[in-house]
Chain A
Amino acid sequence: MNTFEATRRSVLTGTMSTLAAGCFAAPVLAQQSDPISIGAVLSLTGPGAALGQAERSGIRLAEKLLNEAGGVNGRIIRVLVEDDGSKPDIAKSKAEALIFNEKIALMIGASLTASTGAISALTNSEKMPQIALTGLGPAIELTYKSLFHLLPPQALNAKAMLEYTKAQNFKKIGVLHDSGYGQLVYNNLKTMGSDYGVSFVAVEKFEVGAQDVSTQAAKVRAADPEAVYVIATSSVPFRAARQVRITQPIISAIGSSAYDYVRGMGEYADDIVFPEFLVGEDPESHQKAFVDIYKAAYNSLPKNYEAAGWDAVHIAVNALKKAGPTERTAIAQAMREPYRGVMASYNFAAEDLTGIELSSYVYSKLVKTQFTRLTFKAGTKS
Chain B
Amino acid sequence: MTATLFIQSLLAGITNGFVYGLIGLGISVIYRGTRVVNAMQGDFSLVAGIVLYLCSEHLGYPILPSFLAGVLAGAVVGWTVEIFFVRPTRRRGGNEESFLLVTLGGAFAASAAALLFFGRDSRPIRGLGGDNLLDVFDATIRVHAVWLIALSIAVVVALRLFYTRATIGKAIMAASIDPDGATIIGINVPMMRTLTFVLGGAVGGIAGVLISPLITVNYEMGLLLTLKGFTAAIIGTLGNPFGAVAGGLMLGIVEALAIVFVSSGYKDVISMTFLILIMIAVPNGIFARRGRAGG
Contacts and interface: CB of A to CB of B under 8 A. Distances in A.
Given A236-B215, A260-B120, A209 B224 contact: yes
A243 B214 CA distance: 11
B9 interface: yes
Nearest to B224: A209
A355 B259 CA distance: 40
A264 B124 contact: yes
A244 B260 contact: no
Contacts of A245: 133, 140
A212 B16 contact: yes
Contacts of B1: 222
Interface in A260-318: 260-261, 263-267
Given A212-B16, A261-B122, A264-B123, A219 B264 contact: yes
B93 interface: no
B221 A211 contact: yes
Nearest to A235: B122
A214 interface: yes
Contact of B216 (A204, A214, A218, A235): A235
B100 interface: no
A45 B13 CA distance: 32
A50 interface: yes
Interface string A180-223: 00000000000000000000000011110101101110110110
Contacts of B256: 215
Contacts of B214: 212
A49 interface: yes
B259 A50 contact: no
A258 to B, nearest CB: 10
A220 to B, nearest CB: 10
Contacts of B15: 212
B215 A211 contact: yes
B167 interface: no
Contact of A218 (B12, B121, B225): B12
Contacts of A216: 259, 264
Contacts of A206: 264, 267
A234 interface: yes
A360 to B, nearest CB: 28
Contact of A204 (B4, B12, B215, B264): B264
Given A209-B220, A212-B215, A222 B140 contact: no
Contact of B122 (A218, A221, A263): A263
Contact of B259 (A209, A211, A219): A219
Given A215-B13, A219-B259, A266-B131, A207 B268 contact: yes
A245 B8 CA distance: 11
Given A204-B264, A212-B215, A236-B216, A218 B8 contact: yes
B2 A264 contact: no
Contacts of B32: none
Nearest to B255: A215
B122 A260 contact: yes
Contacts of A204: 259, 264
29 contacts: A45-B115, A53-B120, A204-B264, A211-B19, A211-B215, A211-B224, A211-B225, A212-B15, A212-B214, A212-B215, A215-B260, A215-B264, A216-B264, A218-B4, A218-B9, A218-B12, A219-B260, A234-B122, A235-B216, A236-B122, A236-B215, A236-B216, A244-B139, A245-B133, A245-B140, A260-B120, A260-B122, A261-B122, A263-B121
Interface of A: 45, 49-50, 53, 204-207, 209, 211-212, 214-216, 218-219, 221-222, 234-236, 239, 243-245, 260-261, 263-267
* Leading 5 A-B pairs by shortest Cβ distance: A264-B122, A266-B124, A218-B8, A211-B215, A214-B12
Given A215-B9, A264-B121, 18 more contacts: A205-B265, A209-B220, A212-B15, A212-B215, A214-B12, A215-B8, A215-B13, A218-B139, A219-B5, A219-B260, A221-B5, A234-B122, A235-B122, A239-B124, A244-B8, A244-B139, A245-B140, A266-B131
